[in-house]
């Protein structure tokens, strides 16, 4: 550490923390531009190209499964490579794949390209987990990660609004335009990001120091000791399966449901799903603050409260006879506010439990379980709705909410962090 400053709260630290936070929020939001654009294009592709709900659901499932595996694999890699270049490269590759998707015309080509997109999308989050755990101390991580997690809603909300206007013109624009924006964003990531405080000659963050022996420990040994042997991480990972089943079920199928079951125009449906995402930003911000303020960093307790409230909102959305746009939007806003609490906190919880030695790997494991849920939220919902109607689909979402809440209850005694 020769030549490094001893204070981890210098003006330089504060400047770079702000810069890293803002850049990663924008960068990860742009990953959503080339991921969730398909959701708005789906009903147009179904009507114009004759692609079935089962096929569309299969695209979502295969994409999600590969994304989950990739997120875990790249999480292990992400703990050991330069986050700056890793994140920029992943976004650029996803943009190129989206351009190819817009040029394709066969169901097989759509499926193969969306699977490839799923794999490279998995590069997006691990660099962010590495950056946040290297730049922010554990006692501030829940609050700062809840701010960072606004990137999910900012990206998804912006792209569904944008594509809501592009899809009626030509569904292919839903892929070309976001891809162009993402390519510019990849260049910005390479310019504005830096890997760690030490890479700039700054002191490492206090409270996250590891010994030389710890730092040189083999990858599999760290993974086993810090992640795979921790039962709380496993419970949170399984709970994340059900969080993502609900979240992506609404995000992926929401525009199609609102258009086909409630008679909402696609442009309006895009704004309604954007409202779901906007409420999610407030949900994430509040969940991080509540975790640090009232639960002493024990995020699983806040997750239980939020998941329970989200499930109640989903039940009301499903069962209430009033199908007006105002009521639908209000209930989507409530559901969005509460589902994004656990969506944000699960990653924070496991990153703190695994410490910065294995934060990206732990987050990758929860991501793997989260995206395994696309078996339900993708092809499962497509199959159910095609054969049994939308009631069966919402029954599935409700049951996922109940099981998720029960799993969070089992984590009530989980520690705040592993340092």
What is the CATH code for 12-195+219-410? 1.20.1250.20
Burial class (CB in 10 A: 0-12, 13-18, 19+), 275: middle
Close Cβ partners of 226 (under 8 Å, ≥ 6 residues apart): 354, 355, 357, 358, 361, 362, 418
Burial of 318 (0-12, 13-18, 19+ CB in 10 A): middle
Q: How far is 61 from 304, CA to CA, in rounded Å?
A: 26
Structure tokens at 286: 């509040």
Task: Give CA separation, 350 vs 22, 145, 299, 365, 373, in Å.
Answer: 23, 12, 10, 9, 19
Torsion of CA 62, 68, 70, 71, to 10 degrees: 150
- Residue 1 pLDDT grade (very low, low, confident, very high; cuts 50, 70, 90): very low
Residue 123: name the closest of 96, 162, 87, 151 by CA: 87
Instruction: Determine the Cα–Cα distance for residues 362 and 369; give it in Å rounded to an integer.
Output: 11
Collapsing DSSP states into helix, strand and coil, what is residue 353? helix
The label of the residue with tokens 């409270």 reads 207
pLDDT (0 to 100) of residue 211: 44
Give the CB-side neighbour count of residue 52, counting CA atoms within 13 A. Answer: 12
pLDDT mean over 136-143: 77
Structure confidence by residue, pLDDT tens digits, 360-411 = 778 878 888 887 888 888 888 888 888 888 888 888 999 999 999 999 999 8
* Rounded mean pLDDT, 284-310: 88
Q: State how far the Cα of 138 lies from the Cα of 101, in Å rounded to an integer.
A: 41
Q: What are phi and psi of 292, to 5 degrees?
A: -75, -35
Q: Residue written as tokens 């996803």?
A: 94
Most confident of 58-67, 180-189, 203-212, 320-329: 180-189
- For 298-308, the pLDDT digits (tens) are 888 999 999 99
In this structure, the dihedral spanned by the alpha carbons of residues 204, 208, 211 and 212, taken in order and rounded to 10 degrees, is: -40
Element (H, E) at 389: none
Nearest to 397 by CA among 333, 301, 315, 303: 315
- Span 64-76, average pLDDT: 84
DSSP output for 168-228: TT-TTHHHHHHHHHHHHHHHHHHHH--S-SGGGTPPPPTT----HHHHTS-HHHHHIIIII
Query: What is the greatest pairwise CA distance in the chain?
Result: 68
**165: number of Cβ within 10 Å:** 15
Tell me which DSSP letter residue 124 carries. S
Q: Any alpha helices (H) in 261-389, and if so which ranges? A: 266-294, 299-319, 325-354, 359-372, 374, 381-388
- pLDDT the model gives residue 6: 47
Which residue in the block uniquely carries the two structure tokens 């997109």?
Answer: 117
Task: Supply the mean pLDDT for the chain.
Answer: 86
End-to-end alpha-carbon separation of the chain, Å? Answer: 21
Length of the chain: 419
Give me the pLDDT at residue 419, please. 53
Taking only the tens place, the pLDDT of each residue in 16-37 is 999 999 999 999 999 999 998 9
- The pLDDT of residue 22 is 96
pLDDT one-digit tens code per residue, 171-207: 999 999 999 999 999 999 999 999 888 888 888 877 6
Task: Name the token pair of 38.
Answer: 């398909």
Is 56 or 100 the better-scoring residue by pLDDT?
A: 100
pLDDT value, residue 28: 97
pLDDT number for residue 207: 62
| pTM (two decimals) | 0.74
Domain boundaries, the chain: 12-195+219-410
pLDDT band at 219; cut points 50, 70, 90: low
Ranges 249-258, 339-348, 399-408, most confident: 399-408
Lowest mean pLDDT among 21-25, 46-50, 61-65, 261-265: 261-265
Query: How confident is the model over 209-231, as a mean pLDDT?
Result: 64
What radius of gyration do the chain's Cα atoms show? 20
Say how far apart CA 343 and CA 280 lie, in whole Å: 9
Phi, psi at residue 80, to the nearest 5°? -130, 5
| Tally of CB atoms within 10 A around 102 | 20
In this predicted structure, the answer to whether residue 259 has a pLDDT above a threshold of 50 is: yes
């Amino acid at each position: 550490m020769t030549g490094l400053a001893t204070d981890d709260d210098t003006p330089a630290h504060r400047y770079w923390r702000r810069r890293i936070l803002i850049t990663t929020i924008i960068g990860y939001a742009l990953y959503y531009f080339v991921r969730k654009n398909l959701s708005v294009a789906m009903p147009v592709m179904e009507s114009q190209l004759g692609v079935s709900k089962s096929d569309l659901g299969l695209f979502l499932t295969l994409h999600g499964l590969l994304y989950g595996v990739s997120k875990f694999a790249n999480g292990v890699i992400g703990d050991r490579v330069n986050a700056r270049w890793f994140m920029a490269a992943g976004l650029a590759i996803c943009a190129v794949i989206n351009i190819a998707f817009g040029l394709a015309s066969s169901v097989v080509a759509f499926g193969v390209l969306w699977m490839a997109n799923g794999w490279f999308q998995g590069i997006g989050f691990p660099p962010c987990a590495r950056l946040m755990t290297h730049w922010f101390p554990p006692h501030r991580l829940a609050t700062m990660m809840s701010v960072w997690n606004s990137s999910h809603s900012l990206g998804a909300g912006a792209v569904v609004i944008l594509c809501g206007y592009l899809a009626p013109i030509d569904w292919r624009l839903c892929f070309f335009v976001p891809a162009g924006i993402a390519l510019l964003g990849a260049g910005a990531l390479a310019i504005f990001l830096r890997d760690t405080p030490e890479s700039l000659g700054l002191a490492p963050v206090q409270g996250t120091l590891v010994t030389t022996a710890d730092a040189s420990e083999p990858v599999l040994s760290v993974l086993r000791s810090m992640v795979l042997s921790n039962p709380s991480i496993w419970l949170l990972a399984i709970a994340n399966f059900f969080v993502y089943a609900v979240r992506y079920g609404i995000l992926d199928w929401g525009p199609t449901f609102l258009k086909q079951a409630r008679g909402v125009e696609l442009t309006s449906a895009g704004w309604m799903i954007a409202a779901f995402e906007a409420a999610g930003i407030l949900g994430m911000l509040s969940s991080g603050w509540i975790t640090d303020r009232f639960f002493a960093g024990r995020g699983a307790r806040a997750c239980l409260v939020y998941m329970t409230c989200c499930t109640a909102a989903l039940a009301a959305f499903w069962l209430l006879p009033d199908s007006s746009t105002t009521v639908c939007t209000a209930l989507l806003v409530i559901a969005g506010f509460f589902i994004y609490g656990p969506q944000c906190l699960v990653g924070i919880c496991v990153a703190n439990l695994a410490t910065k030695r294995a934060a990206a790997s732990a987050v990758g494991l929860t991501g793997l379980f989260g995206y395994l849920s696309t078996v339900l939220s993708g092809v499962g919902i497509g199959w159910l709705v095609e054969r049994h109607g939308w009631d069966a689909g919402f029954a599935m979402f409700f049951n996922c909410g109940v099981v998720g809440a029960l799993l969070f209850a089992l984590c009530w005694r989980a520690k705040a962090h592993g340092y």
